[in-house]
Amino acid sequence: MCVTPTEPDISKTAALDWDIKVDFLVAGSGAAGLSAALKASRLGLVPLVVEGSKLWGGTTAYSAGGVWVPNNPLMLEGGMEDSTEAAMTYLLNVVGEPTPESTVARRQAYVRAGAEMVKEFRESGFRWYMAQDFPDYHRDEGSRIGRHLSGEIFDLNKLGPWRDSMRVRPHHPELPAYLDENAKMLNATRTRRGFTTLVRVATRILWARLRGARLASMGMAISSQLLYVLQGLGVAIWRSTPVTGLITEQGRVVGVTVLHGESGRPLRIQATRGVLLALGGFARNDALRKRYGQASSRFAMANPDDQGAGLQLGESVGAQVALLGGRWGIPIMFPPGETPVFNVWERASPHSIMVNKAGKRFTNEAGSYQDVANDMTDLGHDPCWLIFDSSHRKKYAFGNALPGFTPKRYFQEDFMVKADSLVELANKCEWRFDEFAVSGIDEDFHRGENPYDRYYADPTHQPNNCLGKIEKPPFYAVRLYVGDVGTKGGLRVDEHWRVLGQGGKPIPGLYAAGNTTATLFGRRYPGPGATIGPAMIGGFIAASHAGQA
């Protein structure tokens, strides 16, 4: 049964200072905003979600939909060990010493509230899925398998008319498959596990078509499940309603001004327990990117409405900001006719290396995308080249191209360079051929030593399943660039996700979560779901605190 979200009464506005009164005003309909609205509703508050776009779901709907939650109930139920102490040790090893953006208190709040959020949302009807065998991204003491959660695959038809206004990433239809299933299917022609996974996903697709289901996975599963639970609770969600300003009284944020609906009717909304800014970052705002020393939004994979509204609203009331030069970096490529494509398994598979224009390797190609992007940026190798041979092209998918099949347009439009010899390829790519790893042991960058390195690689390749000789012609090269899935900088918040003002004191009544905030993970990426994790958990913590106000 689909329940349409109710709306507060806005019919009687004539003689009132406030057009509407709610307990908790949530700006933004991505994972951070919807998570906060759910927690607020569980606490008995009356929340209202306002979304500036006609589409809901935020950049979350574009994402792989991972949520990084240490010590979560699903991993513990599966017999996996974890603890708050192990997670804190891991964060210290990966992120480094505490900073004003990443205090010990904030890290502890994140770790402790994450497990609580998983439990509470499951009680509300949200169905979680734990990716099998997916490890944290680093080997440091305290790393674990099982901290990656996502939402179960969801039938969008349950949302009624709201299914058609969900944000969908253009040109990249997602399979109704989990992230770990996608990894296994990369080896469907080489392993029984990969083949059976492919059959399972194909059966799921066929069964969905037979019964008219419209399945959503990964990031879309997170957003759609949250919305579905909120529908059942009758929580109001207004689309096409941008926040135009924050209203303060004696230094406290007490409400917002909005333009409501297609008519753009100006309204003043009172929020007695607080306002949460969950409006994403500024990945698609070229003026702000230029101001803070970032590359063009051409290299961003966030949604088009990621324009920095939350950052600007916070600054309008004196909020502190930090890390504005940071971004959630990823290696990307530009296949002809497509938007930027995230490059992951292509560089983790054997028979491939990344080199700069001088032909030198400079990083562990199979490492965390954030670390690889950092190396590309810090060492001045943006763009660089991914080099691979015919064995790689025959065995492994490349972007949306199946193994063994390369669209002609890839060569015609200079996306992929092809040559019969490495020397010829080097001349075409403006790099010289040097020594490549041929022994299966990477003494320079330790590729394959970390469990994450091997996650997207070929389990049938020995002795190192993600490092192999580049020896079979023809040879290929593709340019890789540093892209991002969002910005890392924004409003500085405390352990309650309250926005901090001058002198480091909280601005009463104002919270922020997700990419509107300065990340607590600094320049690193602890594990799968380290963007949506802080978004959902941050929204959950903010609503928890507002409920106690």
Instruction: Write out pLDDT tens, residues 461-500.
Output: 988 999 888 889 999 999 999 999 999 999 999 999 999 9
Instruction: Note the pLDDT of residue 105.
Output: 98
Are residues 317 and 338 in contact, defined by beta-carbon separation less than 8 angstroms?
no
342 and 367 housed in the same domain: yes
231 and 282 housed in the same domain: yes
348 and 435 housed in the same domain: yes
Residues 6+ apart with CB under 8 A from 244: 256, 257, 258, 259, 266
Handedness of CA 537, 26, 50, 289 (dihedral sign): negative
Partner residues linked to 129 by β-bridges: 150
Per-residue pLDDT at 14 exceeds 50:
no
Average pLDDT rounded to a whole number, residues 405-412: 94
Give the ranges where 212-338 is alpha helix by DSSP (H). Answer: 218-233, 286-291, 309-316
Task: Give pLDDT tens digits for 39-86.
Answer: 999 999 999 999 999 999 999 999 989 999 999 999 999 999 999 999
**Dist CA 64 CA 531 (whole Å):** 10
132 and 230 housed in the same domain: yes
Smallest CA-to-CA distance from 223 within 34, 66, 37, 48 is with 34
Tell me whether residue 207 is in a domain: no
Instruction: Note the pLDDT of residue 470.
Output: 86
130 and 155 housed in the same domain: yes
Please identify, among 434, 467, 484, the residue that sits at the C-terminal boundary of a domain: 484
**Dist CA 532 CA 526 (whole Å):** 12
Please identify, among 484, 502, 520, the residue that sits at the C-terminal boundary of a domain: 484
426 and 409 housed in the same domain: yes
Per-residue pLDDT at 529 exceeds 60:
yes
Indicate the number of domains in the chain.
2
Are residues 272 and 21 in contact, defined by beta-carbon separation less than 8 angstroms?
yes
Between 4-18, 27-41, 131-145, 178-192, the lowest mean confidence (pLDDT) is in 4-18
Per-residue pLDDT at 143 exceeds 80:
yes
Per-residue pLDDT at 3 exceeds 90:
no
Its domain, for residue 478, covers: 328-484
**Dist CA 429 CA 410 (whole Å):** 15
Phi/psi at 498 (5° precision):
-80, 140
Are residues 26 and 279 in contact, defined by beta-carbon separation less than 8 angstroms?
no
Instruction: Note the pLDDT of residue 204.
Output: 96
**Dist CA 275 CA 508 (whole Å):** 10
Between 13-22, 69-78, 279-288, 308-317, the lowest mean confidence (pLDDT) is in 13-22
Please identify, among 455, 484, 513, the residue that sits at the C-terminal boundary of a domain: 484
Q: Does this model's pTM top 0.75?
A: yes
Between 236-245, 383-392, 464-473, the lowest mean confidence (pLDDT) is in 464-473
Tell me whether residue 499 is in a domain: yes
Tell me whether residue 208 is in a domain: no
Instruction: Note the pLDDT of residue 386.
Output: 96
Percentage of the chain modeled with pLDDT above 90: 84
Tell me whether residue 196 is in a domain: no
Are residues 233 and 25 in contact, defined by beta-carbon separation less than 8 angstroms?
no
Q: In which band, very low, low, confident or very high, does the pLDDT at 141 lie, cut at 50, 70 and 90? A: confident
388 and 357 housed in the same domain: yes
376 and 409 housed in the same domain: yes
We report the CATH number of the domain holding residue 86 as 3.50.50.60
Tell me whether residue 260 is in a domain: yes
**Dist CA 167 CA 450 (whole Å):** 35
**Dist CA 242 CA 277 (whole Å):** 12
Per-residue pLDDT at 426 exceeds 90:
no
Residues 6+ apart with CB under 8 A from 114: 68, 69, 70, 71, 72, 533, 537
Instruction: Note the pLDDT of residue 427.
Output: 67
**Dist CA 148 CA 133 (whole Å):** 9
Q: In which band, very low, low, confident or very high, does the pLDDT at 4 lie, cut at 50, 70 and 90? A: very low
141 and 48 housed in the same domain: yes
Q: In this structure, how many other beta carbons lie within 10 angstroms of the beta carbon of residue 192?
A: 9
Are residues 138 and 93 in contact, defined by beta-carbon separation less than 8 angstroms?
yes
Tell me whether residue 186 is in a domain: no
34 and 162 housed in the same domain: yes
User: Which residue's entry shows tokens 């480091």?
Assistant: 504
Tell me whether residue 79 is in a domain: yes
Look over the chain and give the mean of its residue pLDDT values, rounded to a whole number: 92
Tell me whether residue 205 is in a domain: no
**Dist CA 176 CA 156 (whole Å):** 12
Average pLDDT rounded to a whole number, residues 101-114: 98
137 and 285 housed in the same domain: yes
We report the CATH number of the domain holding residue 409 as 3.90.700.10
Of residues 2 and 512, more confidently modeled:
512
319 and 335 housed in the same domain: no
Between 51-55, 283-287, 438-442, 537-541, the lowest mean confidence (pLDDT) is in 438-442
Q: In which band, very low, low, confident or very high, does the pLDDT at 433 lie, cut at 50, 70 and 90? A: very low
Which tokens is 72 given?
A: 């979560």
